[in-house]
Amino acid sequence: MAQDESFFSRLPFITDFQHVFQHEAYHPLPEDWWLVITDIRNSTQAVAAGRYREVNSLAGCTVAALLNALRPLEIPYVFGGDGASFCIPPSHVEVVRDVLAGCQHLAEHYFGLSMRASLLPYREISSSASLAVCRYQQAQHLQQTFFSGQGLLVAEALIKESDQWAVPQGADLSTADFSGFECRWQAIPSPKEWMVSCIVAARTPDTKQRLDLYQQLIHKMDVLAHTLPFDASGLELTLDPSQLRSETLVRTASGANATWSAFKLRLETLLGKVMMLLKLHLGGVHWGEYKQETRANTDFRKLDGYYRCIFAADENELAPLKAWLEEQKMAGRLFYGLHLSHAAQLTCLISESRQRHVHFIDGCQGGYALAAQALKAQEAAMVLQR
């Protein structure tokens, strides 16, 4: 593997969450790398129509497809609820372009949703918006990328303004492998009054100052920032066909018979419930510990220019945080968006052996998508006031 391609895999892991707010933890992205940005067009309307599970699923499918295509190469990426962002070396641009075309075909022809997918050379924005990465390891099988700088945010805004870097939709799914994508958990009830989807955007362009502000936010959140937002006891696999619909659609799109796919998926899910109940040890998997591992491998906080997190809170815990956020907004230091629901949902990537599994969490009824809408409304209101 070329030295440039292995840039990310050579980076050391950060294991102390506090250290991800230190400027020295980040390494500049190579100048010749490319940025991949995907999102669901009109996701707010889709969420309002009750399709938030499908929106999350398509974002998860994109992650699965790109990681499958590039394996064993490790790349920086982040799941954003209604989309995902990646950084890739230049040698893999054409492969990724084909995969994205297949992902768009899946969205359009099987889910009835429109996916925006773009490939943008980092050089296009690097002079005005930097991007650096660090590798954070929360658990044995949960290795996340945290991003500093505004590179991803600027890239996202740019691709929405112009189709110059847009990827044309593919004619079929032959270019995309969605192996590993799963969406089988019921909605997870909050152990407190609320499940909160939170997005905070520091307004300063200075990278170190942005990290400092996010660290202040973490201190203000105190235990909320460091606690996984659900208990393992809240995890239950679903047998509801409507909740298994996304995974059934993906299997059907990949060539399986629709009726057989639905039946087989329910059967596999039922077997999973039984193995967890009996705490069996099969296929190298300790099924009695699977829920605890799922909880540990859930990405409930992330940094991609914005600070995003999912946390559980009672109203008396949330009130002082809201007051602080509003105070900081009025002082011109940040914008923020909060979305409250009573449950969260998981979108999962599972290895063939099931010994590695990573889980993306979002709030139900809109989560990150609606929190982002609230944040953008604050930004728009500020522009109107000028």
Q: What is the pTM of this model?
A: 0.94
C-alpha dihedral over 53, 59, 64, 69, to 10 degrees? 150
Q: What is the pLDDT of residue 3?
A: 58
DSSP H or E stretch at residue 41: none
Buried b (16+ CB within 10 A) or exposed e, 187-205: bbbbebebbbbbbbbbbee
Q: What is the pLDDT of residue 125?
A: 95
Q: Enumerate the β-bridge partners of residue 298.
A: 359
- Amino acid (one-letter) located at 64: A
| Cβ 158 vs Cβ 120: under 8 Å | yes
| Cis-peptide, bond into residue 72, ω within 30° of zero | yes
What does R_g of the chain's alpha carbons equal in angstroms? Answer: 20
pLDDT in tens, the chain (386 residues): 555 888 999 999 999 999 999 999 999 999 999 999 999 999 989 998 999 999 999 999 999 999 999 999 999 999 999 999 999 999 999 999 999 999 999 999 999 999 999 999 999 999 999 999 999 998 878 899 999 999 999 999 999 998 999 999 888 888 899 999 999 999 999 999 999 999 999 999 999 999 999 999 999 999 999 999 999 999 999 999 999 999 999 999 988 888 999 999 999 999 999 999 999 998 888 999 999 999 999 999 999 999 999 999 999 999 999 999 999 999 999 999 999 999 999 999 988 667 789 999 999 999 999 999 999 999 988 766 65
